[in-house]
Amino acid sequence: MKISIGKGSCGLAAGAGKISDYFSKRARAENMDLEIGVTGCIGMCYLEPIVTLTDDCPGNLLGDRPDNRPDKIYVKVDQAAADEILLLCQGRENNAGQYELQEEDRAVLNRQTRVALRNCGLVDPENIEDYITRGGYEALRKCLREMTSAQIIEEIKVSGLAGRGGAGFPTWFKWRALRDAKGETKYMICNADEGDPGAFMDRSVIESDPHTVIEGMLIGARATGASQGIVYVRAEYPLAIKRLENAIQQARDRGFLQERVLDTDFSFDIRVKVGAGAFVCGEETALIASLEGERGMPRLKPPFPAQKGFFQRPSNINNVETYANVPWILSRGGQAFAAMGTEHSKGTKVFALTGKIQKGGLVEIPMGSSIRDVIEGVGGGVKEGRALKAVQLGGPSGGCLPAELLETIIDYQTLAATGAIMGSGGMVVMDSATCMVDMARFFLDFTCKESCGKCVQCRVGTKRMLEILERITKGEGRPGDIERLEVLGQHIKEGSLCGLGQTAPNPVLTTIRYFRHEYEEHIERKKCAAKRCKALLSYRIDGEKCTGCTLCSKRCPAKAISGEAKKPHRVDGTLCVKCGKCAESCRFSAVVVE
């Protein structure tokens, strides 16, 4: 019997480390014939810690090998749950069933089509044998022994695989450009500098299935003639870095990374570069500058990295999710991947569901699914029964789409038409309590701070836009501010050098497009209907509900509340600092926030 504990970052944050130690301690103390294993994140972060119980097999929850599914899956496992699971393992009477994965949560997995995430939560990320048992490195063997570089690139072309880092550029085209470039040393680079707030796809794949990224890079190198690989990972991902470095060493030990890989004429090795975590380094030329020890700043193209990349040598850059798809495509054929998705957007896409969502975590769905399919069908809808107001797609430089556009299908062209972008796959769900003006200010504040400063339009323009938004949320909005934001946003998009500046205005422009009335309300009426903009709020006490308990006046730091005990109190608006302490302390809902 084998017990596997999900030890991705989400699982560890929920206490998986302590649960694993407890299982090990009890198994030793009671001399149980029990193997304690490790897996990564299966994507259901809202149910961590997750424990799977299998009978001498690695398991597959999704049916590729139904005979090897885990017998039991347990969620939100604490010490009490662990005790019941151990009783079950001993064949004794137990109540472990109350902790089992419920059908409605199992549906979260069953409604997905997992390609990039196919092994996440199922294999031990620290053991190469688990990956090999599930067919790992077989695609590499096929490419080395049965296919030419042209045939590999053609298979990727047939698949329609496009870059999953945000730009959606055809992968085959970049690989062919590198293959045709002249140079003795070529580089295959993996961009794992995941900087979007609320996005954690790349981190989770590396933490949970690092060998699929390594194999994808090996296949790309075989197709293009690259001999050196670099994975650029941000320093904020220590667990991902640790597991990736361990996987690289294991791959070397097994002969997958070395001179003459698997006794062929192909040689390749990979090293890890830990980056400082600048958002702009998600742009390939800025990433290359950082790799070279320079400040991460983009440069004009052409020349493209395929001609002059890392230290002026031919280079290719794809992100983690793109490489994770490659072994599956080469194993099953490009047509199998192309059969999923739409005419112009093939395959699947991984999304990080965050915000006001019932079932937050990672999901992978075929292109062409609707936004509603993801949020309601997989994610379970909005928390606490509130109405969905908007969804932010594409990270901090993506667009905010209203609930009326939930039927929008997910592909590159359709999303671009709405003003949003696919991005790397962040999906932030917002409910009715969200102020869209403040949300636009939040995202623009991030991109403004992350601008490298090279372009005047981006460096100065985003700052001017942010100043206007801050004025509006403070009740100092002026007539014409909305139009100024629109004009500034368009100039920044047209005049910026890289994708950061070209997309930074998107949250502002889309919220104006779909929620213009909220801007007008902030500027003209000096009111925030969502009651999120502190400066626009006012407090009063309903005399009919107030019992004169005096608790609000005692909690008020500005001494703005007066009144006698057991008699209705009142708020002096000239003294009120709008801290909200009165509303928090009132037990009778007498404090009215307007």
Tokens of 262: 């698997």
Task: Please provide residue 278's backbone torsions phi and psi, each rounded to the nearest 5 degrees.
Answer: -85, 130
Whether residue 155 sits in one domain with residue 75:
no
Q: Return per-residue pLDDT of the chain as tens, 594 residues.
A: 889 999 999 999 999 999 999 999 999 999 988 899 999 999 999 999 999 988 654 434 433 433 344 568 999 999 999 999 999 988 899 999 999 999 889 888 889 999 999 999 999 999 999 999 999 999 999 999 999 999 999 999 999 999 888 778 999 999 999 999 999 999 999 999 987 877 899 999 999 999 999 999 999 999 999 999 999 999 999 999 999 999 999 999 999 999 999 999 999 999 999 998 788 988 899 999 999 999 999 999 999 999 999 999 999 999 999 999 999 999 999 999 999 999 989 999 999 999 999 999 999 999 999 999 999 999 999 988 889 999 999 888 889 999 999 999 999 999 989 998 888 788 999 999 999 999 999 999 999 999 999 999 999 999 999 999 999 999 999 999 999 999 999 999 999 999 889 999 999 999 999 999 999 999 999 999 999 998 898 999 999 999 999 999 999 999 999 999 999 999 998 899 988 899 999 999 999 988
Residue 203 included in any domain: yes
Concatenate the DSSP letters of all residues of 414-429 into one string: HHHHHT---TTSEEEE
Is residue 334 situated within a structural domain? Answer: yes
Distance of alpha carbon 231 from the chain centroid? 18
**Two tokens, residue 423:** 């991005």
| 338, 368, 395 - which closes a domain | 338
- The rounded distance, in Å, linking the Cα atoms of 85 and 269 is 43
Residue 305, CB-side half-sphere exposure with 13 Å CA sphere: 23
Query: What is the Cα–Cα distance from 492 to 502, expressed in whole angstroms?
Result: 6
Q: Identify whether residues 563 and 496 lie together within a single domain.
A: no
Are 571 and 537 in contact by the 8 Å Cβ rule? The answer is: no
- C-alpha distance from residue 20 to each of 11, 14, 35, 124, 166 (Å): 11, 12, 11, 14, 37
**By the 8 A CB rule, do 134 and 208 touch?**
no
Beta strands in 368-411 (DSSP E): 388-393, 399-402
Last residue of a domain, one of 397, 413, 431: 431
Question: 511 and 438 in contact (C-beta within 8 Å)?
Answer: no
**Given this model, what pLDDT does residue 70 score?**
52
Residues 416 and 370 occupy one common structural domain? yes
In a domain, residue 117? The reply is: no
The pLDDT, as a whole number, for residue 256 is 97
**414 and 558 housed in the same domain:** no
Q: How far apart are the C-alpha atoms of 575 and 562, rounded to whole Å?
A: 11
Last residue of a domain, one of 282, 305, 338: 338
pTM for this model (two decimals): 0.91
The sign of the torsion formed by the CA atoms of 293, 446, 584, 537 equals positive
pLDDT score of 71: 63
Residue 444 covered by a domain = yes
In a domain, 115, yes or no: no
| Residue 451 located in a structural domain | yes
Shared domain for 390 and 513, answered yes or no, is no
Crossing angle of helices 238-253/201-208, nearest 10°?
40
Contact 578, 535 (CB under 8 A): yes
Return d(Cα 281, Cα 466) in angstroms, integer: 22
Q: Do 327 and 304 sit in the same domain of this protein?
A: yes
If asked whether residues 507 and 442 sit together in one domain, one would say yes
Can you name the residues that pair with 72 across neighbouring β-strands? 53
Indicate whether 444 and 565 sit together in one domain: no
278 with 376, same domain: the answer is: no
Pairing of strands 361-366, 591-593: unpaired
CATH number at residue 64: 3.40.30.10
**Residue 374 DSSP symbol:** I
> 151 in helix, strand or coil?
helix
C-alpha of 342 from chain center: 22
End-to-end Cα, the chain, rounded Å: 60
Whether residues 74 and 170 fall in one domain: no
Which CATH number characterizes residue 571's domain?
Answer: 3.30.70.20
Q: Are residues 379 and 401 in the same domain?
A: yes
Question: Do 288 and 411 sit in the same domain of this protein?
Answer: no
Does some domain include residue 530?
Answer: no
- CB-based contact 199:421 (threshold 8 Å): no
Domain range enclosing 53: 2-108
Provide CB contacts within 8 A for 341, sequence distance 6+: 160, 347, 348, 366, 367, 368, 411
- Domain count of the fold of the chain: 5
How far CA 591 is from CA of 527, 549, 550, in Å, comes to 18, 12, 12
Decide if 454 is inside a domain. yes
